[in-house]
Homo-oligomer: A and B are copies of this chain.
């Protein structure tokens, strides 16, 4: 194992921090890597920048936004929680009203991509609502299942705390919490009084500035992240985002062709990294997952909490391509049929195929095919 106190360790870490800033699209902020899950990143964001009793504005529309609210409350924040329909996302208008009504709100939280329901929210619109309300609250965004797969612009959107993990769009194994932190948040951390140690920004900054960590980092994961981030750059971030849209759109067309609907209530909310599919009445979503796993060797996500049994989820982010999504659709069709859904086998696949053919033909001249083989996921 490499020595994380070695003189040349910063040759690994400093360029990695710089690359992650490019992915978060922040030039003015900085990026932290903690040995932790995305949940640890949530806690790091809160505990470094807020005080117990601080009033914060949150919204809840899925298991992961729910858990973040739960954490905020357990860490002693005074949470204004706006509950909205699961299948929708951050209620921008409601946020604006709350912010206008209550200038004591110190922080606004938004889940960019709610993994449990397959809903992406408009963070730029949240920022606009904050500005319109004249709020100087800080903006906290959960980008665990968006950053690296869906466009994310930390500086442009004025995100103060952007939270992610190594194992989703960043395509590395799990084990690293990744945070993008604005200068405003860094300043807040200097006076924030919530007790903290493991996740303390100050300790991390003191070490990171010279390329080290305050305690032993998961060294192999840093190398893994270096490799996966390089893959994103080779493909090109805009190509990566375009690919995720295309893959997701194919899945959605397949779902609709089966006569099914998404948990996301409208295209506005559709997520390009995960689709939660509503199962027909009389069909148990958990049974779809169980059959999918055991019989068809496919890991679908189950419905969580309010949508337990009502949906199953197809993840489509990271190192995958059109055929991976067709495989997922094909498997889902069989599992649905086995679970009692009256669907036509192959219909979803066919709709997705038609879309993919068109989308790829539009994008690629056949004559250019030889040039395209290298970067995209195989």
Contacts and interface: CB of A to CB of B under 8 A. Distances in A.
A263 B321 CA distance: 29
A97 interface: no
Given A7-B370, A39-B214, A42-B198, 7 more contacts: A1-B174, A6-B299, A7-B294, A43-B198, A294-B364, A297-B378, A346-B351
A123 B168 CA distance: 43
A323 B298 contact: yes
Interface stretch (A70-78, A101-109, A147-155): A70-78
A40 interface: yes
A364 to B, nearest CB: 7
A279 B64 CA distance: 49
A142 interface: no
- Chain A interface bracket (under 10, 10 to 19, 20 to 34, 35 or more): 35 or more
Contacts of A218: 173-175, 218, 221
Contacts of A98: none
A324 B296 CA distance: 10
A331 interface: yes
Nearest to A41: B198
Interface of A: 1, 3-8, 11, 35-40, 42-43, 52, 70-71, 74-76, 165, 167, 173-175, 194-200, 214-221, 290-291, 293-299, 301-302, 321-324, 326-327, 330-331, 333-334, 337-338, 344-347, 349-351, 353-354, 356-357, 360-361, 364, 366, 369-370, 372-374, 376-378
Query: A195, A345, A346, A364 — which one has the most chain B CB atoms within 10 A of its CB?
Result: A346
B334 A327 contact: no
A366 B324 contact: no
Contact of A376 (B297, B330, B337): B297
B198 A39 contact: yes
Nearest to A175: B218
A11 B195 contact: no
A5 B196 contact: no
Nearest to A319: B1
A71 B36 contact: no
Contact of A11 (B42, B194, B217, B374): B374
A38 B167 CA distance: 21
Nearest to A351: B346
Contacts of A195: 52, 74-76, 194-195
Nearest to A331: B323
Given A7-B290, A197-B75, A198-B40, A331 B337 contact: no
Contacts of A297: 321-323, 376-378
Contacts of A6: 293, 299, 373
Contacts of A377: 297
Nearest to A216: B174
User: Nearest 6 A-B pairs (CB), nearest first?
Assistant: A346-B350, A175-B218, A294-B369, A327-B327, A3-B299, A326-B330
Given A297-B322, A334-B353, A36 B35 contact: yes
Contacts of A174: 1, 4, 35, 216-219
B353 A338 contact: no
B366 A37 contact: no
B337 A369 contact: no
